[in-house]
């Protein structure tokens, strides 16, 4: 039951991020099967390409990317603990 709730929450979160529902259903199934969903947010296309190469070298499959609206630098905040 817990796994179903986690996957359902994941689907809602991904749809909320603008990922099409058909893709979220596919991701949900993969997570239920024990796979890992990883999200990377690079600064530019150079970093995106580097991240893809690193993931491929690590054996990742089904790598995809989508564009998203950028946040002006003055509005972005670095992650701190």
Residue 23 and residue 51 share a domain:
no
CA-based R_g, the chain, Å: 15
Query: pTM of the predicted model, to two decimals?
Result: 0.59
Residue 29 and residue 1 share a domain:
yes
Assess if residue 9 is contained within a domain.
yes
pLDDT at 4 over 60: no
Range of the domain at 24: 1-35
Residue 70 is predicted with a pLDDT of: 55
Residue 42 and residue 25 share a domain:
no
φ/ψ bin of 62: left (φ > 0), alpha (ψ from -120 to 50), beta (otherwise): left
Please state the length of the chain.
81
pLDDT in tens, 10-54: 888 888 888 888 888 888 888 888 888 888 889 999 999 999 999
């Amino acid at each position: 039951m817990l796994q179903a709730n986690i996957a359902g929450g994941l689907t809602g979160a991904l749809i909320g991020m603008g990922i099409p529902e058909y893709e979220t259903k596919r991701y949900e199934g993969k997570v239920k099967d024990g796979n890992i969903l990883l999200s990377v947010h690079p600064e530019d296309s150079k970093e995106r390409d580097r991240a893809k190469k690193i993931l491929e070298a690590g054996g990742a499959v089904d790598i995809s990317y989508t564009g998203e609206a950028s946040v002006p630098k003055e509005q972005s905040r670095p992650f701190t603990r």
